[in-house]
């Protein structure tokens, strides 16, 4: 393995998962940011955990902020790509909203590190993260467009305030996961399928009265078609 | 004003709101923790912002962690006190759950600083904050007891997984508020009453089918009686 930097051999054998040195750096930084804190982590520590020289790290990311920005983008980009594809599809709005909420919740639940826990950092309010904030606002808007279409279908177009709730429900995965990872919460050997629970709730809060089992099956078919089969 | 420390005159006149030096310190720390970040804030900076000597600050709080613990407790204690009182009341479970969700959401929305944004800090996983984590788990349990009573009333006792959602919905106030305070979101001059929206949703996700206006009025009566009139 000599992919740690241009022409530089790495100090040690690969320590972090990832197909490229860049992915290894992101994985190490994600662990440190979510377990020690962003402000308390230095690029030197990240390089040490990856097992590369700090100069190699700087070849990939000029600053610690750049690493955080790349990690945050990873949490939004796949859902945004799906939302864009869903906008062009012919399925009914409840099925598409369920598909987006289920996909996004699963992704927030299953990533190796709970990166959504970084969303509320005050550091994210700076100009450096304006692009990430805009991306997240765009994703939220996609949720709201689908939610308003569901409300229209239910003849509740006046209840647009409700349209913000599905996005907020999906974000609760971050809190649920944080609590599950802390020592106080023991949900037993068979924990609830939180992504499905949240996607169900995203439709229920809009007043959708139908049969959830069928809706979920329809959403899974959309996801299989729009994102490829799940492993 | 000489309440900055025992026998010590303060350096300047009072700069922060609060009836005591301790309250002033907490207000200044809350601003710094939520706008600069917990790790990036020093006790020296807090003392400066309050306008007291660092020694006076240490008289009230031995460490920065102690300040954070006091702030976090403030976010949970009032709701926990209400939940304890609600447990002894005769009103139907939907009314009591609505009252708890409304009260807690209003408190998270209206505090001077969005302290809930600190809940996901990795620093909170240390032993120092074990008591706060236990308090929060106890509050969550109170929500779940009321939610299960609602599910029982609706003849849906098997759906206990749903019972965790009202607590999670109330926590979404933190994210909503954070987004409203950031530059990207402009909800206009008449923003949604998010606490009422969240309390409505907390009942809807449990499948509660009744008239929300009447439920909200009943919950307001409970709150007026159990917490005194709202200003």
Contacting residues for B48 by C-beta, under 8 A, at least 6 apart: none
Cα(B72)–Cα(B26) distance, integer angstroms: 10
Indicate yes or no: CB of A168 within 8 angstroms of CB of B176.
yes
Min distance B216 CA to chain A CA atoms (Å)? 16
What residue spans define the domains of chain B? 1-62, 69-227
Cα(A76)–Cα(A115) distance, integer angstroms: 11
> Which residue does chain A place closest to B36, by CA atoms?
A122
Which chain A residues are within 8 Å of B37, Cβ to Cβ?
38-39, 121-123
| C-alpha separations of B213 from A211, B196, B200, B223 in Å | 26, 10, 9, 15
Give the model's pLDDT for residue B147. Answer: 97
Place of tokens 């409970």: B222
Cα(A175)–Cα(B217) distance, integer angstroms: 30
Indicate yes or no: CB of B197 within 8 angstroms of CB of A35.
no
Look up residue A121 and give its two tokens. Answer: 């950092």
Q: What is the DSSP letter of A61?
A: -
Three-state DSSP at A184 gives coil
Look up residue B43 and give its two tokens. Answer: 């006790």
In B, what residues contact A, Cβ < 8 A?
A: 34-40, 117, 119-123, 125, 133-134, 137, 140, 161-162, 164-165, 168-169, 171-172, 174-176, 178-179, 182-185, 192, 197, 201, 204-205, 207
Min distance A40 CA to chain B CA atoms (Å)? 6
Report the interhelical angle of B93-110 vs B64-87 (nearest 10°): 160
Looking at every residue in chain A, the average pLDDT score rounds to 91
Indicate yes or no: CB of A171 within 8 angstroms of CB of B169.
no
Give the model's pLDDT for residue B174. Answer: 97
Residue A231 binned pLDDT confidence (cut-offs 50, 70, 90):
very low
Which of B115, B105, B100 lies closest to B178, judged by CA?
B115
Q: Could you read off the pLDDT of B167-198 as tens digits, one per residue?
A: 999 999 999 999 998 865 555 656 789 999 99
End-to-end CA distance of chain A: 27
**How many Cα neighbours within 13 Å face the side chain of A130?**
4
Maximum pairwise Cα distance, chain B? 64
Look up residue A202 and give its two tokens. Answer: 């995203």
Give the model's pLDDT for residue B192. Answer: 86
pLDDT for residue B141 is more than 70: yes
Q: Could you read off the pLDDT of A113-160 as tens digits, one per residue?
A: 999 999 999 999 999 999 999 999 999 999 999 999 999 999 987 788
Give the model's pLDDT for residue B184. Answer: 55
- What percent of chain A is predicted at pLDDT more than 70? 90
> Which residue does chain A place closest to B133, by CA atoms?
A184
pLDDT for residue B4 is more than 50: no
Indicate yes or no: CB of A37 within 8 angstroms of CB of B123.
yes
B171 close to B115: Cβ distance less than 8 angstroms = no
Cα(A205)–Cα(B197) distance, integer angstroms: 10
Q: What is the DSSP letter of A8?
A: P
- CATH top-level class of A1-62: mainly alpha
Contacting residues for A147 by C-beta, under 8 A, at least 6 apart: A97, A162, A163, A164, A165, A166, A202, A206
ipTM score: 0.91
Q: Which CATH number fits domain A69-227: 3.30.43, 1.10.357, 3.40.630, 1.10.3470?
A: 1.10.357
Q: Could you read off the pLDDT of A23-50 as tens digits, one per residue?
A: 999 999 999 999 999 999 999 999 999 9
| C-alpha separations of B139 from B11, B130, B134 in Å | 40, 14, 9
Q: Could you read off the pLDDT of B61-72 as tens digits, one per residue?
A: 999 999 999 999
Q: Could you read off the pLDDT of A62-114 as tens digits, one per residue?
A: 999 999 999 999 999 999 999 999 999 999 999 999 999 999 999 999 999 99
């Amino acid at each position: 393995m000599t992919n740690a930097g241009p022409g530089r051999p790495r100090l040690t054998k690969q320590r972090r998962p990832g197909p490229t040195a860049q992915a290894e750096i992101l994985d190490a930084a994600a662990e440190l940011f979510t377990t020690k804190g962003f402000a308390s982590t230095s690029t030197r520590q990240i390089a040490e955990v990856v097992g590369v020289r700090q100069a190699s790290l700087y070849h990939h990311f000029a600053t610690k902020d750049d690493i955080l920005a790349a990690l945050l983008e990873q949490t939004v980009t796949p859902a945004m790509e799906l939302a864009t594809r869903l906008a062009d599809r012919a399925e009914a709005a409840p099925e598409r909203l369920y598909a987006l909420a289920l996909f996004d919740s699963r992704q927030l639940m299953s990533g190796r590190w709970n990166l959504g826990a970084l969303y509320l950092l005050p550091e994210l309010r700076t100009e450096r993260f304006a692009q990430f904030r805009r991306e997240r606002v765009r994703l939220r808007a996609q949720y709201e467009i689908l939610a308003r279409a569901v409300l229209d279908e239910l003849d509740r177009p006046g209840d647009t305030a409700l349209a913000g709730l599905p996005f907020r429900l999906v974000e609760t995965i971050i809190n649920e996961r944080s609590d599950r990872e802390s020592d106080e919460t023991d949900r037993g050997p068979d924990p609830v399928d939180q992504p499905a629970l949240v996607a169900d709730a995203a439709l229920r809060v809009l007043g959708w009265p139908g049969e959830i089992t069928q809706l979920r099956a329809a959403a899974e078919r959309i996801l299989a078609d729009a994102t490829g089969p799940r492993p």
